[in-house]
Amino acid sequence: MPLPDEFADLEKFLPWALATEPERYARRLASTMAEMQEFYDAAFPRLEDAISHCDEHDWDDLPDSARTLLHLMQSLVMVSFPVEVWKQPRVPDSGAAYLDVIVEPVI
């Protein structure tokens, strides 16, 4: 699904527009720091605009393009700690620990 027209510059990153947390986490773990940094550098400056765009719609009836944008920004959140703090895809000193989300936020 394409993004809203005003976010066409982010379409290169559509593979990051994943609907569930497990998908986003798996993508993060499978990505290099360079890939995450490129995504972060492009998407982070657009975050406020993306939130404003999504807020223009009823959350119970988001257009598909806005929902795709929302998922893209959720992936931005997923890569923010690795990019800003940890400098690696995995949580430092977490060993083989893994957390499975069994209920997704409703959107």
Domain extent listing, the chain: 5-86
Per-residue pLDDT tens digits for 46-65:
999 999 999 999 988 999 99
Whole-number mean pLDDT of the chain?
Answer: 88
Q: How far apart are alpha carbons 55 and 104 in whole angstroms?
A: 20
Which tokens in the block code for residue 96? 């083989």
Q: Could you tell me the pLDDT band of residue 90, with boundaries at 50, 70 and 90? A: low
Contact indicator for 3, 72 with CB cutoff of 8 Å: yes
Q: Could you tell me the pLDDT band of residue 79, with boundaries at 50, 70 and 90? A: very high
Q: Is the pLDDT of residue 67 over 60?
A: yes
Q: How far apart are alpha carbons 50 and 56 in whole angstroms?
A: 10
